[in-house]
Structure 1
Amino acid sequence: MALDEEIRKALETGLAPERLEVVNESAQHAGHAGDDGSGESHWRVVIGASTLDGKSRIAKHRAVHAALGPDIITRIHALAIEMV
């Protein structure tokens, strides 16, 4: 399974978002630090989930990281999280 599919599945399972976009931004960072050549190093997640309502921005980010879990997080160099 491709990493974008793993990210999507983990977030859907863990947070049941009403809106979810998983964007691979690795090509924009080719040759930069953290680019491992896999084409799957830099990601943006746009997420809207009622399960995150009322939480601070830090708590929301922690919830996203927890939903992704260590197996996915350790394979990502950069993760931008946009709450909507």
Structure 2
Amino acid sequence: TGGENYHTDFGMWDYVRGHEGDPWRLREDPSWVGTPALPATEGWVHRGYDTSRTWFRDEADFPGPRTMQATADWLDRNAGHHDRFFLFVD
């Protein structure tokens, strides 16, 4: 879970993996050829994101664009089914 567990106050949430210190992937992508470059950073927090980044190939693979795409998809699926709703994107 993300967001310091603020998600528990909502009826539904969707967590997009790969942000900042999220240890989403355990190993670098074996087909990775150097882009994006891994920084010379030590430690669990930086290493988790650095490892995950090797799996990102273009802009749409990064967490920010994936979050916005998930938001647009949610709106397409759900907005027409409710008179009112509160959508919080973090």
Give the TM-score band, short-chain normalised. Answer: under 0.3
Q: Which has the higher contact order (CA 8 A, sep 6+)?
A: 1
Task: Provide the TM-score with structure 1 as the length reference.
Answer: 0.28
Which structure dedicates a bigger proportion of its chain to strand?
1
The structure that has the greater radius of gyration is 2
